[in-house]
Amino acid sequence: TQHRLLLLPGDGIGVEIMAAVRKVIAALETHHGLSFDLGEDQVGGAAIDAYGVPLADDTLALARASDAVLLGAVGGPKWADQPYGNRPEAGLLRLRKELDLFANLRPALCFDALADASSLKRDLVAGLDILFVRELAGGVYFGEPRGIETQDDGSRVGINTQRYTDAEIRRIAVVAFDMAAKRRGRVTSAEKSNVMESGLLWREEVTSLHAASYSHITLDHMLADNCAMQLVKQPKQFDVILTDNLFGDLLSDEAAMLTGSLGMLPSASLGSSGPGLYEPVHGSAPDIAGQGVANPIAAILSLAMALRYSLDEGAAADAVERAVDRVLADGYRTADLAAGGAVDSAKVIGTDGMADA
Ligand code: NAI
Ligand code: MG
């Protein structure tokens, strides 16, 4: 099968890391017999320059017709004066919304060669492999009513509403259980059912879905504050962590710092049908854009996630991840990974060099 892949490099280092991803795609075609139908278009500031808007309708149509979309990064000082709603970031938000991407997958993976760069002791993080499944489309960031209201006595109140329907909880839990089935078969569901009604419903729905359809998966419930502690105390106890939008935002950022640099972190956002969106966690890094020094590994690992979750090419995904592990074990580093460490300066390489390696 030919995989239809849309590349949206975007802005800043997005362009450089996507060129690196193309090299990996070419290697998969040459050495692993994969076949891609590659499309490329603009998003973010580059799309404002080309089409006047951060995500054109034609680009959205290309995305819908793809098996997976790979995005670099959007944003930069050049577009700082754009009106709100026509900023580069609005292109990414529109893409997520139009593709109905409600499941955000963020791995916290610690490559052995980088374990000493963690803020925790090597033994705690070496070999760490957690997958966060974060609900992305609901919860307190979107719940109504919301706003800042002035009371009769003149005082003001800021209002947000944490709100989850049973259907929203079940559809994200399905993703978590399905992911766990392909991994180590364990889901930890994190909420605050002790103090929140939405958390109580979350626990009830996850429990009944588990009993009905996923009894082959091990399910634990953990209060989210305890989960935050356990992540630094004994992070290797986790396989898949299932959680809502707010707790997922905080816990996945916490776990990311156990594993090293921003330049290493991939992500995926999935809907119930249609293409997934794969992108590094980092932004367009205007401070280093155009210098050829950006770390392409987050983008390359995002490609690996696309291979695994949208293209059903698990073996190729494994091969990409093994290649990253091997190159790091051989001592090669981009500048962001070399800072402050005992690294052989001859092995500090740029974006292209890392992709070639
Ligand atoms: P950033 O992630 O672009 O950069 C933060 C720091 O990390 C910078 O010092 C940068 O040089 C470094 N860095 C990031 N990625 C790197 C890589 N692959 N290799 C080496 N070093 C790397 O975040 P920042 O500076 O807050 O935002 C810059 C622009 O990116 C803004 O316009 C922001 O809105 C946008 N942004 C876009 C995102 C996206 O497209 N999903 C996500 C985050 C920010
Ligand atoms: Mg965050």
For residue 306, give the CATH number of its domain.
Answer: 3.40.718.10
Domain count, the chain: 2
- What's the whole-number mean pLDDT along residues 203-224? 98
**What pLDDT digit, counting tens, does each position of 16-48 carry?**
999 999 999 999 999 999 999 999 999 999 999
* Of 354, 276, 352, the residue nearest 312 (C-alpha): 276
How sure is the predictor about 116, in pLDDT bands with cuts at 50, 70 and 90?
A: confident
Residue 156 marked as a ligand binder: no
* Pair 274, 309 in one domain: yes
Q: What is the DSSP letter of 152?
A: T
Considering the domain boundaries, does residue 118 fall inside one? Answer: no
Specify the pLDDT at position 330.
95
Residue 77, pLDDT > 80, answer yes
Cα 298 to its chain centre, rounded Å, is: 9
Considering the domain boundaries, does residue 195 fall inside one? Answer: yes
Best residue for ligand 1 mutational test, from 262, 324, 336 (most atoms within 8 Å of Cβ): 262
CA distances in angstroms from 197 to 159, 204, 209, 277, listed in the order given = 17, 11, 18, 31
* Of 30, 236, 207, 201, the residue nearest 128 (C-alpha): 236
Residue 283 marked as a ligand binder: yes
Whether residue 76 has its Cβ less than 6 Å from ligand 1 = yes
Considering the domain boundaries, does residue 340 fall inside one? Answer: yes
* Pair 275, 225 in one domain: no
Query: Cβ distance 310 to 68 under 8 Å?
Result: yes
Among 217, 236, 257, give the residue marking a domain's end. Answer: 257
Among 222, 257, 292, give the residue marking a domain's end. Answer: 257
The answer, yes or no, to whether ipTM is higher than 0.85 is yes
Q: Report helix, strand or coil for 135.
A: strand
- What residue's CA is closest to ligand 1, atom 30? 283
Q: Which domain holds residue 244?
A: 129-257
Query: Cβ distance 77 to 286 under 8 Å?
Result: yes
How sure is the predictor about 10, in pLDDT bands with cuts at 50, 70 and 90?
A: very high
* Pair 283, 243 in one domain: no
How sure is the predictor about 256, in pLDDT bands with cuts at 50, 70 and 90?
A: confident
Among 257, 278, 294, give the residue marking a domain's end. Answer: 257
Distance CA(238)–CA(255), nearest Å, equals 11
Angle at the Cα of 119 from the Cα atoms of 114 and 121, rounded to 5 degrees: 75
Residue 335 CA, closest ligand 1 atom number: 20
Considering the domain boundaries, does residue 119 fall inside one? Answer: no
Report pTM. 0.92
